[in-house]
Amino acid sequence: MTSFSCAQLAKLEMPKMPVTVGIPVTPSADEADETEIGHLLIVDDQPNSRLLLGDLLQSIGYRVSEAESGNQALQMLKTFQPDLILLDVMMPGLDGFEVCRRIKANDETRLIPVVLVTAASDHKNRVRGIEAGADDFLSKPFDESELLARVRSLVRQKHLNEDLDHAAQVLFAIARSVESRDPTTGDHCERLAQMAKSFGEFLHLPRPLIKVLMWGGYLHDIGKVGIPDAILGKTGKHTPEEWEVMKSHVLIGEQICRPLRTMKEVLPLIRHHHERWDGSGYPDGLKGEEIPLVARIFQIIDIYDALTSERPYKRAFTVQEAISILREETDRGWRDPQLVEYFFEFLRSRALDLE
């Protein structure tokens, strides 16, 4: 099997907000006003260290929760998402490096900025922190201005990332609405996303490419939101003029997703998943390996799911029939022959009858 590689914030005079150990604070209506600039979690087994950091950060408007140990911090993260974690390295039980590693390995918490706080500023500990996924480091005794500058910068970045995440959710919602315009496709996008993940893992693709394939499952046809219903839902053959409008969905989809930085790697899939190996596809007539790898992989999955699903104009083909049609299209020069053979191997590995 072949593996593919691939502002500044002014100080605010305000009442102190409560600090709790082990329980994230839910502010009262009076406290949850515009002066709150972020919720921080301090993890340190030394009460005096937590008190010092907490008082300083509260004084400029941050809300603070505390954890006495790494295990307690991990439990707290199951119920709330702080804007930043200040994590002491030298703690009994789970040390800061291991806690950081677990935070960054969890999809639910990996985007929370983690600052490792340690009295040891040697090169070895910084390397360990980088390997664990830490976003920044702070040495004891810390400089107050340095601490506040780093906290402000990381919290600001966290809020920007959240805005991007919300924008991405809007795009996925649009994609779902497009799918709902054609109820005959069922859960086509969900099936594509799951099969893309499985096939990508079979090909030993790196995780970022697998993510692109999965997002492509939902977003590949998002441009159909700009196609009139009379054309999108037509069951008969399209006129040449209608077909040109229909083909424009890949360009519309690319334009919709392009402004969002997090969608950058998905754009080639959205634009090029209707290209053909021999150059006869659209929109750019790319040929062979000019077609992005993710688009070549995805189109095979997309075609297979369409063939094996029931539609008003066709029955669901059997696995063997779908394989036969994919072979015919490959012989015509439409599909990447090597990837098609890998896809057949993938289907065999799933114990599907190809004979």
Q: Which residues are catalytic, by number?
A: 224
Q: Whole-angstrom Cα distance, residue 185 to residue 188?
A: 6
Give burial (CB, 10 Å; 0-12/13-18/19+) of 45: middle
For residue 4, count CB atoms less than 10 angstroms from its CB and return exposed for 0-12, middle for 13-18, buried for 19 or more.
Answer: middle
Which residues 6+ apart lie within 8 Å of 35 measured at CB?
A: 12, 14, 61
Q: Of all helices (H) and strands (E), which one includes residue 116?
A: strand 114-118
How far, in Å, are 47, 269, 303, 307 from residue 185 at the CA level? 58, 20, 13, 11
Angle, alpha carbons 154-159-83 (nearest 5°): 60
Helices within 15-91 (DSSP H only) = 47-58, 70-76
| Pairing assessment for the beta strands 39-43 and 20-21 based on DSSP bridges | unpaired
Copy the structure tokens of residue 103. Answer: 């935070």
Q: How buried is residue 344: exposed, middle or buried, by Cβ count under 10 Å (0-12/13-18/19+)?
A: middle
For residues 100 and 87, give the distance between their C-alpha atoms in angstroms, rounded to a whole number.
8
Paired with 139 in beta bridges are 118
